[in-house]
Amino acid sequence: MTNRQGSRARGASPRGSRGARHPRPAGRAPARAAAGHGALPWRWLAGAGGLILALAVCLLQAPATRAQSIGISPGSLEVDEALRGGEYSRPLTIINQQPEPLAFRLAVQGEAAAWITLYDGADPSKPARTVDVPAETEKTLTAKIVIPADAANRQFSAEIALESVAPGSGEEPEESGAAVTTGLALDVVINVTGTQRLAGAVSGVAVGDTEVGLPLRALMDFQNTGNVVVEPDVTLLVAAESGSISGGNTTKQESVPVEGSATLKAEWDTSGQQVGSYRALVTVRLGETQIFSESFDVRILAEGTFTRVGELTSLTLTNTPFPGAVARVVAGFRNTGEIDTRAAFQGEVYRDGTLMDTASSVDLLVETGEAVELEVFVPVAVKGKYSVKGVVNYEGKETDPGEITFNVPPDLGGDSLFGRPWWQLVIGFGVVAVAVLYVADRGRWWKRPGQPSS
């Protein structure tokens, strides 16, 4: 027993007594703690500093890289010699070279902000409040600028600003005049002048031969190069070889905006005129200013001189008819001949394979190269499978036949359901309900009180 105890005493001290055998002087720490735990080695400090510096450089360079991959063109929009009350359009393009889509909230600010409205280039009828730009693509907008009638003759400025938003968020834009923090901005400079300048360029004038009874037509291209909206007047005067005026008229064209273009047209009815050679004088005026005048040799030929060719391009059902309604079928026709021609659709209506009626459209005058839609209205009295078969007749000639088939389902609304009148359905449901109640009541009679369950 004595030997074991002595051995234990020599081999280990009781727990908690290790620190008591060699007490440390007060205020003195082990050298290892001072070197390894009390302070970070210089290599660690240098590594952490380098990492922080690298992160800072990346963060500072990221916005610059992003900015370089997003842009707006042109660098500015300018309107010179803008007239009070005038309307002007300018395109602008947002460039996204990034691999992800972007979206922007649009705002216009500055003294001329109220004059400017932004539109999506694909839908010029609806103002654009936000714009989405897919990855690695471009998006075109149109800035419509309307000069107030009381604007002074001086230079006005505005800024179109784009602020990033989440794609597809549809956030509303800032009100005009509100400041917007954004990396994309476009300056707008408008010089308002009180000088009205009427100017335009006419080109590509064509006056072709025609047949008796068909219009003699003059066509031309027009470009508005002035600073106001114009409505050109085109005059067509026709004289016989003797020099006597056979007839003519003046046609006021639709409005052409500043820097806009249009096709101008003037016609003269040749009904009752003699076959022969004529001289056609075409004149174009902008207000009191004549900008074009030229004469052309033309002929009025006998009816049937020119070849007439046309084609039925389509037959389309444009609505969803129901019993008692009318189906609207549109026949597409294109005039590929040498002269204007009158065209009308003529066809037959079948229901479930049985001929029911005929159908036709109104007669239209179709110009050379023109494509039109001929409307055909088909009454559908009851449900069934309907077919419309027919051709387009153009002055005695016919196109290849066409056919369209459509189904008219039973009327499921209004005064019927499942093809039955409501009063029949009410009686039927009532009979079924009485039968169910009767069967249920009979079941209670058969099961008397105290009778064991089967």
User: CA nearest 330: which of 360, 364, 374, 365?
Assistant: 374
pLDDT of residue 5: 41
Is the model more confident about 417 or about 350?
A: 350
Is the model more confident about 195 or about 122?
A: 195
Task: State CA 75 to chain mean position distance.
Answer: 26
**What confidence category does residue 413 fall into, taking pLDDT thresholds of 50, 70 and 90?**
low
pLDDT of residue 61: 47
Domain spans in the chain, listed from the N-terminal domain onward = 70-193, 200-301, 310-408, 415-447
Is the model more confident about 16 or about 285?
A: 285
CATH 2.60.40.10 fits 200-301, yes or no: yes
Mean pLDDT score of the chain = 81
pLDDT of residue 293: 97
Q: Which two tokens stand for residue 71?
A: 């842009």
pLDDT of residue 111: 93
pLDDT tens-place string over residues 416-446: 555 455 556 677 777 888 777 777 766 665 5
Strands 210-211 and 289-301: parallel
Q: What is the separation, in whole angstroms, between the first and last Cα of the chain? A: 90
DSSP-derived letter for residue 230 is: B
Tell me the C-alpha distance between 159 and 91, whole Å: 15
pLDDT tens-place string over residues 71-129: 899 989 999 989 888 889 999 999 998 889 999 999 999 999 999 999 987 677 788 88
pLDDT of residue 301: 96
- HSE at residue 348, side-chain half, CA atoms within 13 A, is 7
- The domain 310-408 is placed in CATH, from the list 2.60.40.10, 3.90.1150.10, 1.10.8.60, 3.30.200.20, at 2.60.40.10
**What confidence category does residue 49 fall into, taking pLDDT thresholds of 50, 70 and 90?**
low
For residues 396-400, give the mean pLDDT: 96
Tell me the C-alpha distance between 159 and 110, whole Å: 6
Per-residue b or e along 179-211, where b marks 16 or more CB atoms closer than 10 Å to that residue's CB: ebeeebebebebebbeeeebebebeeeebbbbb
User: CA nearest 167: which of 104, 119, 107, 121?
Assistant: 104
Tell me the C-alpha distance between 56 and 62, whole Å: 10
Fold agreement between 70-193 and 310-408: yes
Could you tell me how many residues make up the chain?
Answer: 454
pLDDT of residue 442: 66
pTM for this one?
0.54
The CATH code of domain 70-193 reads 2.60.40.10
CB atoms within 10 A of CB 435: 10
pLDDT tens-place string over residues 221-245: 999 998 888 899 999 999 998 888 8
Q: Which two tokens stand for residue 167?
A: 């794609």
Phi, psi (5° rounding) for residue 91? -85, 150
pLDDT of residue 302: 96
pLDDT of residue 392: 98
User: CA nearest 299: which of 274, 323, 281?
Assistant: 274
